[in-house]
Amino acid sequence: MATFQMIIIVIIILIAGAIGLMFALQSAQYFMGRPISIRKIFDGLKAKIWMTAGVGIFFFIFYATIVLIGTNYINSEIRIKIFYLMRKDPILFVYLGLVLFVTTSLSILVVRSIIKRIYNSRG
């Protein structure tokens, strides 16, 4: 799939999400009888959630960098072997994906805990 096609797909997904949010807000307004603004939805968020989003973006960029570096240094023969192994034993790669997801989530939790501990020990 070409890069342009991927960008178009991401834009379509974002537009569909925005339309879905607008539809949900209009439906809530219709059923509740009073307007609901997006500001009220995000009013209760605290700094922890934005910190979590920032740490998540950091780990996503870290993961994307590793993938891009890996694609430059892994030759085509090794890629073919990996794809053959994925086709031969797909459940192994599902479990590896789950392990990657869990370790990333735990890393985010550990970094948040460290940041919270440093923040609380300052004052």
Closest CA to 37 of 48, 25, 27: 25
**Model confidence at 58: pLDDT above 70:** yes
Task: Give the range among 37-41, 56-60, 88-92 with minimum mean pLDDT.
Answer: 37-41
**Model confidence at 50: pLDDT above 80:** no
**111 and 54: one domain?**
yes
**32 and 51: one domain?**
no
Instruction: Give the global pTM.
Output: 0.41
For residues 92-98, average pLDDT: 87
**61 and 103: one domain?**
yes
For residues 40-53, average pLDDT: 67
**11 and 39: one domain?**
yes
Question: Which domain covers residue 4, as residue numbers?
Answer: 1-44
**85 and 98: one domain?**
yes
The pLDDT tens digits for 11-33 are 998 899 889 888 888 888 888 88
Percentage of the chain beyond pLDDT 90 is 4
Q: Which residues contact 38 (CB under 8 A, 6 or more apart)?
A: 21, 25
Report the C-alpha gap between 78 and 87 in whole angstroms.
Answer: 14
Task: Provide the pLDDT for residue 47.
Answer: 63
Task: Provide the pLDDT for residue 15.
Answer: 92
**37 and 58: one domain?**
no
The total domain count for the chain is 2
